[in-house]
Amino acid sequence: MVSGRLGIDQGFYFDESDDAVDVDDDGLMPGPPKAYIDLSSALSKSLGRQMPQFANYRIGYIEVGLRNKDDADDNSGAGCFGGTIKYHEPTSHKIDALQLARAVEKAGEDHVVDSDSLLLSTSKSYSGMRLNFDGDGQIGEDTPMGISGLSGEWDIEEILAVYGTMLTQADQYSNSLWTRRTGAVAQVQWAASLMNRANDSGVSIASTYEPTVNNWRLNLPAGAHLDVMNGLLKMSVAWSSTNDFQATDDDYEIQVTFGVYGWEAF
């Protein structure tokens, strides 16, 4: 089992500056806030070894919960949040695309001497390639891209898009139900809530103090699991409960827990 707070613990990255969320007045979260969960990084810390990102991780359990944030605002109400957890299921085309990108990166580094070159390097570093989900700077220690035609750091979406153009495209068929051979993301929905007080309308605290925790869980039966390519997931906080009675919104951290059955490198 591995667990962490978004934006706070290693492997759990969050694009919110204060690593917390508060409810939106109309329930539609602006942005929305996004998190990137790198299981290879989280497991590297807990197991004390360098875990590969080029592997398929088998996930049998996911739990999402809210925690009161310890800041200047004392939480006095309730909040509910929900969104999606996206990931790539491994397919032959997706694996071929990533392996080709790794070969291109290796070929590019064979004649370079810098901090992350493979044969002769200016620093001691692991040679394993590390990818973002669909942009730059989403995870820690991501691999810079040192080739022409692409820019920034390596990410899965860019690799799959480029590789997809090399294969037969959907527009060659009049009734295609797919858009590219490398496919798209898989996703599940989540929703979690935490209540400290039932309301804040001026009545006594004693009559409204009803602490309640409702975590979201995906607990698959024995033998079943999700195959998560690269151990990388993208989590959004797309909506919330509404708020029309609190002068100051409560702030909540988000805790995510994974049950990892195992992994297989590719």
One domain for residues 96 and 84: no
So what's the pLDDT on residue 249?
A: 76
Please report whether residue 145 resides in a domain.
Answer: yes
- Cα–Cα distance, 130 to 143 (Å, whole number): 5
Q: What are phi and psi of 32, to 5 degrees?
A: -80, 170
So what's the pLDDT on residue 211?
A: 84
Q: pLDDT grade, residue 259 (50/70/90)?
A: very high
One domain for residues 27 and 12: yes
One domain for residues 6 and 74: yes
One domain for residues 149 and 219: no
One domain for residues 12 and 33: yes
Mean pLDDT over 161-184 rounds to 87
Please report whether residue 177 resides in a domain.
Answer: no
What tokens were used for 161?
């898009």
Structural element, H or E, at residue 92: helix 92-109
Q: pLDDT grade, residue 69 (50/70/90)?
A: very high
Mean pLDDT of the chain: 89
Residue scoring higher pLDDT (202 or 11): 11
CB 65 within 8 A of CB 252: no
What tokens were used for 157?
């979406």
Mean pLDDT over 203-217 rounds to 78
Q: Specify the amino acid at residue 171.
A: D
When divided into structural domains, the chain yields a total of 2
Q: pLDDT grade, residue 59 (50/70/90)?
A: very high
Q: pLDDT grade, residue 127 (50/70/90)?
A: confident
Of 114, 142, 172, which closes a domain? 172
> What's the whole-model pTM score?
0.89
One domain for residues 80 and 105: no
So what's the pLDDT on residue 95?
A: 98
For a pLDDT cut of 90, what percent of the chain falls above it?
Answer: 67
For a pLDDT cut of 70, what percent of the chain falls above it?
Answer: 89
- Cα–Cα distance, 87 to 186 (Å, whole number): 5
Tallying the residues shown for the chain, one arrives at 266
- With b for 16 or more beta-carbon neighbours within 10 A and e for fewer, the 242-266 pattern comes to ebeebeebbbbbbbbebbbeebeeb
- Cα–Cα distance, 10 to 38 (Å, whole number): 9
Domain that holds residue 24: 2-88+185-265
Please report whether residue 178 resides in a domain.
Answer: no
What tokens were used for 140?
């820690």
Residue scoring higher pLDDT (73 or 3): 3
So what's the pLDDT on residue 250?
A: 87
One domain for residues 18 and 80: yes
Q: Nearest Cα to 87, choosing from 39, 129, 44?
A: 39
One domain for residues 16 and 83: yes
Please report whether residue 210 resides in a domain.
Answer: yes
Sign of the four-CA dihedral 185, 219, 67, 196: positive
Mean pLDDT over 54-68 rounds to 97
